[in-house]
Structure 1
Amino acid sequence: MSGRGGGGGGGRGAAAPGRGAGGGGAGRAAGGGACDDDTSTSSAQERFFEEVKDKIDRSITHEGGGVKGRFPFDNPLVRPKCATFQPSPDLPKLDRFYQKAVLVWIPEFLFPELQAVPCPGCGGKGAPDGWNPKGPRRVFMEHDVAYVMGFRYKCAKCAEFNKGKQEAEKRKTSFNAWGAGCLRRLPEYISKEFPFLLTKRSGIEICMVDRLADDLVHGKGFSAAAKNICQAHTTKFMVDQLKYTSLVSTRRTSSGIFRSANLAKIPERFGSFDDSTKYGGAVPSEHYLRDVWRLYFSKLPVLEMDSVDWTLEEYQHRLMQRWDGDILGGDALFKFAKIIRLGAKAGEERTRPVYGFFTVFNECGLAASDEDRCLERAGGGVEAFFHAIRSQWLQGSYSVEHRPFEEVTGISLYLEDEVDAGVQLELLP
């Protein structure tokens, strides 16, 4: 079994909020909205990249296709210095407020016992070939964006294999240590330290994808998830702006020999949220989250069994095959729980939303759990577990198995094509 990792995979861009929030007023980034294709960064962020690279280059030694040395930071996720900790009595500089965290992913440097990064194609030893020429990759975190940077690797074994081969038969000879294939070949304790799911040009924190899965199970859609992420990011932006203006105000009004000099200076404007030359904020769009979910659930291998890669979708399907019954997902997202709204009867003003698990009986007529116990739980009227709905009814024929459910819950069940039915079942997205 190998760990989950990030990898290539098509994904739509990540859109920035439509409005800026704060000092620079409403406004979009120069040259358009911040998106998955927008790789520009502020000069402050570029300086932070160079600081991190310089420290690593001075601490690392390349020997025999490998690396030696001690990682110069306490954590692979390197964060900039505290923005408000500026001992100088002058007006504060904005650079610190614009700098984002950077994940330095050089596995053989972080974990010396690894010795070499495995090639995703053949499993051979990959040799570092300098910093990735495409530069750091932007990723979305819970409250801000961050960046991933590391070496590009070359595989001599794959290069030898390609000699005399047709173009279609050749293997890729270079790779990144954060690729899905490389992460699967790394030991679990290393691959699990990589916290991002990478798409074609950007990426997103895995814990956010897990939370997205939980939201989908409870009936929340991608639009609501994107809105929540946007609120978290813009809240941090406004808090950072408040810190800056408060620090400027204090330095200009406090007593001391620098007070008059600070009063004569005009403080810099903080800028808008999505200005790529300054704060550089961005949030994932609804379309991006939808594509990430498809990649995470249907395309990205999460484990390997008998030399076969399994996606999360395949693993859950195999897991359900071990049960006596099966679970019918309400839509293409394979939600196990759906919100069901019962249509109002004559004389009633409001519909009733309930939770429902749809259990499909197998060919032997067996269910995954005890029917009577489930119906007892449904008697309270808060949650209804529709274990009495046999597969025959789901296929279009009314079944006598409705009776125990109706007797316990008081809810009548009708087919959707019965126009005169007093109650209709409607699956909400």
Structure 2
Amino acid sequence: RPNVFVWLPQVLRASLRIQCPKCNGIAITERGWIFRRIVDVNASCFVLAKEYACNSCVEAASESAVFSTCDSNVLREFPSDIQSAFPAIMVPGTDGGLSRTVVNFIQACSKSNLTLEVAHSIVVDMHMARYIERKAAFEASAAQAIQSDVPDSSSDDGSLMISEPKFFSTFDDIKGYGGFIPPAAYLRPFFDGINGVRPDAALWAGSVVIAATEIMTVPIVPAISIEKKPPTMSNHTSPDTGSSEPKRKRRPRRCQNRIMVNGEVVICGLMDCPGRGGQKFCKNFSGARYPSNEIGGEVSVSQDPEDLSKL
């Protein structure tokens, strides 16, 4: 069962006058009770309020002769303490609104730089989580009733009968659970706080097209913009490309020329050997050119084909 909030502002202040929002007339006639749907954090609740008809507007055949104490254009004329006692923010031209808790949550998401879609998905998850909990509790209670075999009626012949448990309704069943979640576009005025942004009027029953200046705005604190500084050039940054990746150190190359020392083939391996430019420049290979070789031992420069094939 949804929660119902009875809205009687005259009870809060006996001297409060209910005026027509169009002509400010006080000659009004009570028409009865109306209810408005309010989307709360995890479920929908309802506001029950009085509906009035302005006598002057009725005589003038005005289309806006009927109003209620929970209409946004009526609420804004009340003193601030009376306005703060109302638990929701109504959307002009619609039959519903959002609770102040949901509005505060949406504003917090906006100030935290979360997108409207993220804020809407959180509200959807909260509503669905409550529905799943209620459904699980109902099914557990029904299963317990079947196991206990407690009869609730008897047939005409005196035999006991056990009633079959009812199934839990779907989320949006208006005759059952009656869940309702407005689309993300409906939250946009509360998310942005900008006039003229509102959802399609057909989303709410009985809604009408209204002027942009009639949209109730909720002021929000603008998001803080952080100034981005250009990346500084580090010691490992290439001045040409501006890349921030460090340069790779080149490993020093050793001379890889194969030489024959004392009849064995070895690698020269010297760091400062000019042989890195070619075999003919190798200090150890050209023993005749560099008599004082750095490997030690006798360097063979034989031109024998068998010896050269080993190199």
Q: Does the 8 Å CA contact 1:121/1:181 hold for their aligned counterparts?
A: no
Report whether the alignment pairs 1:187 with 2:88. Answer: no
Report whether the alignment pairs 1:271 with 2:173. Answer: no
Q: Does the 8 Å CA contact 1:142/1:208 hold for their aligned counterparts?
A: yes
2:43 alignment partner in structure 1: 144
Q: How many pairs does the alignment contain? A: 215
CA, structure 1 residues 262+116, in 2 after alignment: closer, same or farther (shift >3 Å)?
farther
Please report the RMSD computed on the Cα atoms of aligned residues, expressed in angstroms.
Answer: 3.8
**Letter paired with 1:119:** C
Report whether the alignment pairs 1:129 with 2:47. Answer: no
Instruction: Using the TM superposition, give the Cα deviation of residue 228 of structure 1 relative to its aligned residue in structure 2, in angstroms.
Output: 0.6
- Helix, strand or coil for the counterpart of 1:139? strand
Between the aligned residues of both structures, percent identity stands at 19
2:4 alignment partner in structure 1: 102
2:130 to 226, 231, 236: 236
Give the Cα separation in 1 of the matches to 2:161 and 2:146: 5
Mapping of 1:45-124 within 5 angstroms? 99-108=1-10, 110-111=11-12, 113-124=14-25
Instruction: Using the TM superposition, give the Cα deviation of residue 336 of structure 1 relative to its aligned residue in structure 2, in angstroms.
Output: 2.0
What is the TM-score normalised by the length of structure 1?
A: 0.43
Structure 1, unmatched stretches of 5+, are: 1-98, 301-308, 317-333, 339-355, 357-385, 390-401, 414-419, 424-429
1:221 to 86, 100, 115: 115
Query: RCO (CA 8 Å, sep 6+): is it higher in 1 or 2?
Result: 1
* CA offsets 1:4-63 (integer angstroms, 9 cap, x no match): xxxxxxxxxxxxxxxxxxxxxxxxxxxxxxxxxxxxxxxxxxxxxxxxxxxxxxxxxxxx
Q: Does the 8 Å CA contact 1:117/1:126 hold for their aligned counterparts?
A: no
Q: Does the 8 Å CA contact 2:110/2:191 hold for their aligned counterparts?
A: no
**Letter paired with 2:133:** V
Mapping of 1:258-407 within 5 angstroms? 264-294=162-192, 296-298=193-195, 335-338=222-225, 356=226, 386=227
- Helix, strand or coil for the counterpart of 1:150? strand
Structure 2, unmatched stretches of 5+, are: 198-213, 234-240, 245-311
Give the Cα separation in 2 of the matches to 1:114 and 1:421: 73
Report whether the alignment pairs 1:176 with 2:97. Answer: no
- Helix, strand or coil for the counterpart of 2:21? coil
Q: Does the 8 Å CA contact 1:272/1:279 hold for their aligned counterparts?
A: yes
What is the TM-score normalised by the length of structure 2?
A: 0.57
1:205 to 90, 99, 103: 99
Instruction: Using the TM superposition, give the Cα deviation of residue 107 of structure 1 relative to its aligned residue in structure 2, in angstroms.
Output: 1.9
Instruction: Using the TM superposition, give the Cα deviation of residue 225 of structure 1 relative to its aligned residue in structure 2, in angstroms.
Output: 1.0
Instruction: Using the TM superposition, give the Cα deviation of residue 230 of structure 1 relative to its aligned residue in structure 2, in angstroms.
Output: 0.9
Give the Cα separation in 2 of the matches to 1:262 and 1:180: 57
CA, structure 1 residues 286+311, in 2 after alignment: closer, same or farther (shift >3 Å)?
closer
1:55 alignment partner in structure 2: none
**Letter paired with 2:75:** L
**Letter paired with 2:84:** K
- Helix, strand or coil for the counterpart of 1:178? coil
